[in-house]
Chain A
Amino acid sequence: MAHNIVIPTRDKLFNLGEFFTLTKGNILTAFILVGGLIITFIRFTQGIGSVANLSDVQPWGMWIGFDLLCGVSLAAGGYFTTVACYVMGMKHFHSAVRPAVTTAFLGYAFVVVALLYDLGHWWRLPYMFFFPGTTSVLFEVGLCVATYVTVLFVEFSVAPCEWLAEKFPFLIKWRALVNRFTIILTIFGVTLSTLHQSSLGSLFLIAPGKLHPLWYSPFIPMFFFVSSMAAGGSMVIFEGMLAHKGVHHYMDATHLKEADEVTFSFSKAVSFILFAYFMIKFTDMLVQANIPYLCSGYGAIWLLEMFGFILLPAFLYAKGSRERNLKLCRFAAVNTVLGIVFNRFNVSMIAYNYALPSAERYFPSIWEIWISCFVVTMIVTAYRFIVYHMPVLYEHPHFKDAH
């Protein structure tokens, strides 16, 4: 099968043909990107208020709730996979590492991009390093994300190195250096991930009056971290599923052979994590004496999240991995990913400002949603570009030593 894969050579570095075929996907991509660019122009020349429904009582909306919170947690596949493969020594996940690191890097990079839309003075983002507000959770998030993006870039950089090595041979040295420090980078990465994944939850610790008690908890950082692990594992499965649909012909034999095993192993792991997540959230609800709230509308939403998007996928994962049912595992992965998005939406938007009258509540504008779609589309497009050019889903014939 390997012979089907287009491997860029010294003479033909680029393989952009895929982008210019008239497929439904490409047309949709172009549509979203063009629209997104127009909104981007408006946003950066007319101000946030011209496109967003944000208000003084709801300073954070779709761009933080989806692009940042969901973006970061769904990009957790990077640390999850690298830890499984390198730290825990599960070498048979090796072919899953590069796609996971790639998507994680893209996820984080575009989180930063999306953040620029939400920041009033986006060009001052680095100010946090000059005037560090060390008492702020956001400072910790910023510091960790900035560092982690760098780590991910370094981890990911071996792929472009292999792609461009023929043209620029010095990159081989860099690649060798990175490979030597793989384990250090992995451990550094998981430390940073633990910190900022949990800190995204800690952001809301300061607003106990605004977040509904069913979601507000002193343990919210832990919930965010634990759920990010589940999100990471599920995203690897989910992205694998999409990749099999879209870029199947860029996968080599090893990848194809290991893919199913990766799915089942991750399913089993995520199943455990989701059970644990369910238990800590449920216990926390009991400990905080929140049972009376369960009878309210927010209680229904909370129960839906708990049972429909945490416990259900946990069962599906368990069943799927035991019966080696690929479809079920993938369904569970989609279920989990939606659950994580649902949770982050609840925390940042739906259950936030719960006490305010409905007239003052927030609902994202179509343009905010478009920008979020725009960012996702950019990620997908960048991912496609990388897959078409770099050895992510296959092993480069010149660098078979990667094991």
Chain B
Amino acid sequence: MNRRRFLTILGSAGLASALSTAKTAHAAGGTHTWPYHENSYGVLHDTTRCIGCRRCEAGCNKVNNLPKPDKSFDDLSVLDKNRRMTPTSWTVVNKYELNGKPVFRKLQCFHCNDPACASACFAKCFQKQPDGSVAYDGSQCVGCRYCMVACPFYVPSFEYDDAWDPLVVKCTFCEPRLKEGKLPGCVEACPMDALTFGRRSDLIKVARARIKNNPGKYVDYIYGEWDAGGTAWMVLAPSAPVAASKDSHQATGHEFASLGLDTHLGNRPMGELTGGALGAVPMIVAFWPVLFGGAYAIAKRREAMHKAETETIVKEAKEDMAAAMDAAVRKIAETQGPGMADTARQAMADALKARENTCANCGHHGEDK
């Protein structure tokens, strides 16, 4: 998850984290540019096999000690409505219609290879484990629910009704059971092998074989092989050819869309979408002070130049004035005598002073408009 080299401005914590980033990326290797666990587990969900019996829901409920639901798991009428995961049911089966026939799909956490939730969490609550599961540790969860915004599959749910310890809840891949060598509760409960557990790399081969050996049965696409950077849980869909029509808008993947799966997620991890924005952070931190410091310096300099210029003009004007006064006084002295000249000099000096005073008042605030 820590793929981006994002150096925080403040604190060595960010630096340390970035260093550890480099380490994981190096260790992973392979064809992926983000940490990818070659031997991780996954589950292949073959919707052509699913009969909508809800045994997986019951199995999940059982092994995770979740509270009993209001309607028993034998009650299949709940399938008439589209449901989603809640804090007390971590997986649900929904019924979809494909060419008039019901197709069932199980919803749960897809356990992405590079999960959006982990990328979005600002308190590092989510971790992609080497066994393939995406683990959530609520002990440091702040409850911001950005993971729920980030998840492209609308998986995490939140305990809105808990005031004191509301946490994000999602399928755990039965990680504790995996550690004991047991299958996830839902997989074990599936009577149809609509859920096949195995190494993710094997499952992709299995899925390909099924598509190849049953021409026309499946859509030639493994949902989750690459979607959103790849997921541990993958889905096969029955092919439902669109009635021969010229517009091929629906042609590929419409089956997955009909099963409520987003077919426009792209094949890169969702977290990479924020990489560009986060990558700009150090640039802004480095460049803005220079830019605004420069602007400040320019403004200062302009002010100083303006002031100097004004001073020069005022000085020149004053000198001109003094020269004119001298000339006038000399003229008066020549024609009317020195006494008259003194009076005139005095009067002119007074008038000048008075004018300067009024000017100083008027220009006090608006000097830099």
Contacts and interface: CB of A to CB of B under 8 A. Distances in A.
A and B touch in the complex (CB under 8 A): yes
Contacts of B129: none
Per CB-CB distance, the 5 closest pairs between chain A and chain B, nearest first, are A120-B143, A49-B160, A89-B299, A59-B145, A139-B122
Nearest to B161: A49
Interface centre among A52, A55, A132, A206 (most CB of B within 10 A): A206
Nearest to B295: A87
Contacts of A191: 284-285, 288-289, 292
B284 A120 contact: no
B288 to A, nearest CB: 4
Given A47-B162, A121-B143, A205-B273, A137 B120 contact: yes
A128 B271 contact: no
Interface stretch (B151-159, B212-220, B326-334): B151-159
A252 B120 CA distance: 49
B143 A143 contact: no
Interface stretch (A11-19, A192-200, A301-309): A192-200
A358 interface: no
Given A124-B123, A134-B18, 13 more contacts: A45-B163, A46-B163, A47-B159, A54-B160, A59-B149, A89-B302, A120-B159, A134-B8, A138-B122, A205-B274, A206-B116, A209-B262, A221-B280
Given A138-B120, A209-B262, A89 B296 contact: yes
Interface string A81-93: 0010011111110
Contacts of B118: 135
A187 B142 contact: no
B49 interface: no
A207 B273 CA distance: 9
A203 B146 contact: yes
27 contacts: A47-B166, A48-B160, A48-B166, A49-B161, A56-B85, A56-B157, A86-B296, A87-B299, A89-B299, A89-B300, A89-B368, A119-B144, A120-B159, A124-B140, A124-B143, A132-B14, A135-B118, A135-B274, A136-B119, A136-B120, A140-B281, A142-B122, A147-B10, A190-B288, A191-B285, A195-B284, A206-B120
B278 A137 contact: yes
Contacts of A195: 281, 284-285
Nearest to A348: B149
Contacts of B239: none
Contacts of B342: none
Nearest to B17: A134
Contact of B150 (A118, A206, A221): A206
B8 A52 contact: no
Given A87-B295, A187-B296, A135 B2 contact: yes
Interface in A1-60: 44-50, 52, 54-57, 59-60
A135 B292 contact: no
B281 A129 contact: no
Contacts of B300: 89
A133 interface: yes
Contacts of A86: 296
Nearest to B263: A209
Contacts of A242: none
Contact of B296 (A48, A59, A183): A183
A120 B119 contact: no
B6 interface: yes
B141 interface: yes
A134 B278 CA distance: 9
B1 interface: yes
